[in-house]
Every structure is written in C-alpha cells, then in structure tokens.
Structure 1
C-alpha cells in the first residue's frame, strides 16, 4: 500500500474553528477564496456556513427554507427534514445531494440540487435521485458523491439495515445507472453504521463510515472507521484484513474528553477531514471539526 497523503506533521493539525460553527453532518468545499460548509437542517432547510480562512465561520443563505412540493410524495409528514448534504464539483457545476427522512425509518429519499456558482445562492432543483420504503433492506440517506480514477461519478449512501450501498451515476443526469453494490455492513448486534464517504489516493479507494449512535449530545457513541480497496466497488478491508461487509472497520476517531461522538464525516481533496462532534465544554452542542489528514508509511489514514 502506498503513502496515503503528505508526511506526518509535528501536531495533529486541528483547525481552530470559531464563530458560527454549529453544524451537523458537514460537507465542505471551497469556491474562489470562500469556504462553504453544508449541514443537516430540521425544519429550517439545509444549513450553510461560510468562511474566508476555514476557521472563522458565519451563517450563509439557507437552501430550501421552504419544503419542495415533491418531498411529501416520498416522505409524508417528514418532508421538512433535510439531512446530511454532500457538496461536490464536477464538470462545471456544484452538485448538492441530500436526504429527506425521519429517525428510525427507511421511508427516505435522496434529492439533488445544483448550481454553477455557490455564491449566487441560486440552486436548481434536480429532483429525486433514489428512494427507499419499508420494503427495502437499506436506507436512502447520507449520500456522498465521489469521482473514480477514470473520471466516473458514483454515489454511496446508507444507514443501519443492510448497510452502505454504492451506485454509478450517469454523467449527464448525475443520477443512478446500473448495479447497486453493498460495500459495508455490520451485524445487527454489532452496532449501527452510516454516513459513508470515499476518497481515492495512490491506487487505493478509502471508505470512511460512522459507527454507532449520533444525536445524543455528549452521550453520543459515534466514531469514524475506515477501510481500503483497489476497486471502488470493493471489497474494502480494514487494517486487520477484515472485510467491511463483514463488520470490519479500523477506528480513526472516537473522540476525546472534550469532543464527543465525532462522525458524519466528509473528506475534501483527499487531505482534509471534516466532521461534527459534540462539545462537552458547551452543553454538548454539535460543532464543526476539521483536521489535515495524513497517511502512515503503509498508507493508512490518520490525523
């Protein structure tokens, strides 16, 4: 396995985020000189915060502050819950995938919006991407778009049930085409699994996921795990050689005395990891955590 990222620095390289940095399930991108982070909104649209240096954050324009009419067709009574958005840039447009769902239910939908310029605040509704109902054994939430080494877009998603799924996207519609792959799962008695993100570096795809329970403040047990594969469709193996479809996953971040339940992660440019964590010094408020991401001599990621 080749080196994952740059050489290890002398420190863990936390970004000192401040200001209006309250966020959940963050996804970050840079347009020009401005950083944007998108996060879960409950009854308030998709939350957006922005920064000129990646550290001092302020509130930006909310996306879909008024629910779209088609959401209630697929997720009745819960159409105001917009979860875990993912922002990516591909072929001249910014693509924003997001989920509409409710806790404990896999009656869910993934939607898509896009724009040629985030700073314009003008988002095109590109409609439904995929959905699940109670008859499915997986859950259409927590989307993440990734481009493979050949330049093809893919979407990973999933939460609980049978785990994480992956599907190839049509380059024109940016919606699924072809087979649905299973790339990570955990036994029912082994804990929860959700929030995938995939990045590619030096011949390997790295799948990051969140284990266990979020959304309980300082009592959250969320943690970030990972594995790697030579193929985007897997199989993904952790450091011990266990497949992630068999419950495998090497723990990257399980929090510390201040930051509890880190998860809902995103990887930007292969060398920045973004996630939320609950601040034990501020009544368990969910805040933005950012680190530079590195690789050891065998390529396994760490920060």
Structure 2
C-alpha cells in the first residue's frame, strides 16, 4: 500500500517536469519532494532518470504513473456516485452519430425545459470517436451503429433506425431508370447506404456507381434540402429525414423490404449510470417508441 502523500508528490513531479515546479505546486520544499520520491523508490526501485531533461520515467515509473491514474479515476467514480445520490440535477453528457443525434437532441432540450436542474451536453461523432470519448471519460453515454467488443464498455440495444429512399414529393418511381433520370444526392455515407438499400429494392441493378450524381453535401441536416427542391434522390437514416423541417416537400419510397440498423447504447462497464442519465434515457425511449413504423413488424426487414 502506497502512502497517498508520496503518490501526490510523484504525480505532481510528473505533471510539472521538475522538482522545483512540483514543490511550488504542492506548497512544500524541493527537498520534501525528493524525500518523498526516495521513499517510493525504496518500495518500487528507480522511478525517474534524474539526469534526463525533461525527466524520464523508468518502466517502474511508468507502471506507478498508470497506477496513479487508475486511482484518480476510481476516486472520480466514487465522487460521481456519491454526488449523484444527493443531487438529482447536473449534466447529462451524450455523444452520438449524426442522424439519431438530430432527433434526440431536441428531445433532450424539451426534457431540460421541464427539468431545469439538468444541463445537456451533446456532441455528434462517428462510431470510432464515440468509443474513444467514452473510454477517455469525456462523455457518460453514447450511441453507436456497431456493437463494440471492448470489455471496458457495456452495450445494450437502444432503438432501431431504417434506411429510407428519399424522393422529391410527387415523384413517381417505378424502375431503376427513374432513379437514373433523377440523379443521386451523395453524402459521406451515401454510397454505402444506397448500395445496402437499393440492392434489395432493385435486385440485379447495375449499382450505385452507374447513377449520375447531381449533388453532394456533408452536413447531415442539409442532405434532404436538394431532394426537397427536386434536384435528386438520396438514401438516409430515418431520423435524419425526420429532422428536416419541410416534410411536405419529401416523400419516402414505400417498399416491402426494409434495411434496419440497430443503435446501441454504450457506457463504461465499471461506471454505473447516474440517476439523471437513466431518467434521460427513459424519456428518450418513451418518445422514440412513438415513432416506430408499425410496418416494420409485418414487412421483410434486414437488420445489421
């Protein structure tokens, strides 16, 4: 068992990079910092190469540094849980992909209006950045489209989101040639999404690469805009389409085949969710369930 005062001096030394600055940070003498380091090294062996500038950690020093970081995180988790029991308010931090984020952020703001003790912090990010943010404890909860296999994370099914073939209102689609005449509004995930959906709606089609591209936009909230103006068609997740304000200018192509993505709720496995996060998730689930398309229960659906 290491003396916490000695570990505090060691951590300050790593952060400051010199004995003098570490002593200033801690409000003690430089000699005291050196003495604390020697006491630790009696238990561990040499921790720091003192002749190096900046100071360089030995393998034993690196191991102790990682131990100090683990202790810091454990203390934060404990404080987090203790505070959560006495304070129902506070920050709800969530990081999600763009489409589902467009839908749930307004819902969370509605929750905040009814519960002013909450503060909403939401960020948009692709799956890989969501995972990194959770592992680095920058956000409490996240949503991803691919279930992670990292043992440090726990994942539960949150909701489902189908891909939709989005057309200008009033456009009559009967065959692949109609899509060719209209043109494709592409976006960063456009080719992948269109390939997944169109290959099932139009079996044997010559592929998305055979369609003329009539536009490209990388802002998910604006992808329906050129479609609404009759400039082309696109393929989007449902919540991205629902976030568009002028729904009357769009139409979703009806099909007997649905391509449905599962959205996974992810958080740190060893860090229980706060009460406020659980309340927010209950709120979101209740409102998202109202938007589930009943036709998915009866049509042929392909899940990922």
> When the two structures are superposed, what TM-score results if normalisation uses the length of structure 1?
0.22
**Which structure is higher in helix share?**
2
